[in-house]
Structure 1
Amino acid sequence: MLKKALMCLGFLLMCMRPQGGIAETLDIYYFEYPPYYHKLENGEASGIIVDLARKILASAQIEAKFFFVPAKRILHEIKSDHPAASLGWFKTPEREQFARFSLPIYVNRPAEVFLLRENEQKFRPYDSLEGLLQSGKFFFGRVQGLSEGPQLDGMLAKYEHKTVQVTTDTVRLLKMLESRRFDFMLMPPEEVDVLLQAAQTHRDKFMLRAMNDIPQGNLRYIIYSKAVDPDLIRRIDQAIVTEIGMLPAGQ
């Protein structure tokens, strides 16, 4: 009798699992942030991390349903009781209060100061971001709600009076730098070419300047609302290990 009951239970558990060819779905919210994620003319989501996530989710037998929304709305969705996710976010203590995170899926090259080439002489005396900000001579531009990583966020918090924040995206941020609304922004080198193309402006107007106190590139994660099933998150983590391996911790 016990053996028969265990066989029935096993059958029911098998029925509850996704079978071959049958995928669960996951709502994924993204915004315009090339080259990581952006919307093509045909409405499809694309980008470095979008393509990587599609590979990972397919391995986990999960179908991604992408929704293009403003950046501020994404964290609203993650804080809601709706099962939702977003790609490529940094893990911070504040976000861990209301969200879950995957294993890391991508690591940036170290960010650099991105400035107008015409201002090169003004920046030349500074070889650290802290020194640049302490001088009081420069305004820094950033997208509201986005993190630069825990170490840089802690540094930048001391200089909010010298920060210009936008509520849209990095394309708009670049346009504001071009129109001299502030003096510099931070950008990993791999973002530059795609962002300049999206903003329809020319590379020779700008330059990157490395700073000796900017840490190694930040790890990026999939962020989930707490309404997402932990078992589904574990399946995605298993697929991350299978498809890209374990990225080094502590960045």
Structure 2
Amino acid sequence: MACWLAPAWAERLVLYYEQRPPYTEFRDGALTGLLGKPAMQAVQQLGIELDLRESPFNRHMALIDKNLEYACAIGRYKTEQRLGRGKFSQAFYRDQPYVAIMRSDNGRAGAVTELQPLLGTAGLRFGFREGYAYGEVLDVWIATSRASLVRLPESNANLVRMVYRRMLDVVLLSGEEAEALLASMPEERAKLIMRHYADSPPGAYRYFYCSRQVDDALLQRLDAAINLHRPTGTGGSNP
């Protein structure tokens, strides 16, 4: 979907997003959501032609990692691996801490009162999105987990449904995404609970993640636009 934004430079930026409530939703002809709205507010200040494309996570991340397009993805976590392959803007959103979704009758998972010991519980089946990062601290906990880790090319909504169907024991989601998904699943919600943990790390920051083709001058303009429209909770200009 090409959008013309009064181009003042000979630039056409491909902007990738997922249909992923409450973060990014294309609705009524516009991209909205907790990430979509501030992202569009920022890019609309750049004076460039924008090619807005919905694309599965792994597909568009591969295109950016391989530097095949003049492109950015909306709202990605910053990791060492990605820093070696692409470029990041300043942060424009910060997630709520992660929570666990489990069945209310899962006594073994429900008995654990902290997140790190939960991840250390051998035999529990955790579902994760293939290719996703979960924040610096959680990624370490996950890498050293004694639980059974199942990584699938499924949406987070489908992972939650797998918990409901007893195919998984636990799914970890940011607080805002967990609340939105459970609200959209009244049948499943009747059997599921959302657990908060005192040791859950602070929420991770989200950025535009761009290919190396995207020049530094554009990123500087993007950072300036982010600062103009910075929403509450991003925690400063450049964490």
TM above 0.5: yes
Kept in 2, the 8 Å contact 1:71–1:169? The answer is no
Q: Residue in 2 aligned with 1:122? A: 108
Q: C-alpha displacement at 1:131, in angstroms?
A: 1.1
User: Normalising by the residue count of structure 1, what TM-score does the alignment of the two structures yield?
Assistant: 0.82
Distance 1:174 1:86, change over 3 A: same
RMSD: 2.5
Which runs of no fewer than 5 residues in structure 2 stay unpaired?
A: none
- Residue in structure 2 matching 1:225, options 205, 208, 211: 211
Kept in 2, the 8 Å contact 1:39–1:45? The answer is yes
Which runs of no fewer than 5 residues in structure 1 stay unpaired?
A: 1-19
Look up the equivalent residue of 1:108 and give its one-letter code: D
Distance 1:201 1:73, change over 3 A: farther
Look up the equivalent residue of 2:162 and give its one-letter code: M
- Aligned mates of 1:97, 1:69 — CA distance in 2: 22
Q: Residue in 2 aligned with 1:206? A: 192
List per-residue Cα deviations over 1:100-130 (Å, max 9, x = no partner): 00000100111111111222x3234322222
Kept in 2, the 8 Å contact 1:193–1:203? The answer is no
Distance 1:217 1:169, change over 3 A: same
Q: Residue in 2 aligned with 1:22? A: 7
Look up the equivalent residue of 1:72 and give its one-letter code: N
Distance 1:250 1:128, change over 3 A: farther
State the secondary structure of the residue aligned to 2:213: coil
44-53 or 91-100, larger mean C-alpha shift:
44-53
Look up the equivalent residue of 2:203 and give its one-letter code: G
User: Are 1:109 and 2:69 counterparts?
Assistant: no
% of aligned pairs identical? Answer: 27
Kept in 2, the 8 Å contact 1:70–1:168? The answer is no
Distance 1:27 1:74, change over 3 A: same
Q: C-alpha displacement at 1:169, in angstroms?
A: 1.7
The structure with the larger Rg is 1
Look up the equivalent residue of 1:164 and give its one-letter code: V
- Residue in structure 2 matching 1:52, options 38, 50, 54: 38
Q: Residue in 2 aligned with 1:6? A: none
User: Are 1:98 and 2:80 counterparts?
Assistant: no
Q: C-alpha displacement at 1:133, in angstroms?
A: 2.4
- Aligned mates of 1:38, 1:132 — CA distance in 2: 32
- Aligned mates of 2:38, 2:187 — CA distance in 1: 28
Distance 1:62 1:234, change over 3 A: same
- Aligned mates of 2:146, 2:26 — CA distance in 1: 31
- Residue in structure 2 matching 1:144, options 130, 146, 160: 130
Q: How many residue pairs are counted as aligned between the two chains?
A: 230
- Residue in structure 1 matching 2:143, options 157, 171, 178: 157
State the secondary structure of the residue aligned to 1:122: helix
Q: C-alpha displacement at 1:25, in angstroms?
A: 3.3
Look up the equivalent residue of 1:106 and give its one-letter code: Y
Kept in 1, the 8 Å contact 2:16–2:55? The answer is yes
Higher helix proportion: 1
Higher strand proportion: 2
State the secondary structure of the residue aligned to 1:164: strand
User: Are 1:177 and 2:159 counterparts?
Assistant: no
Q: Residue in 2 aligned with 1:190? A: 176
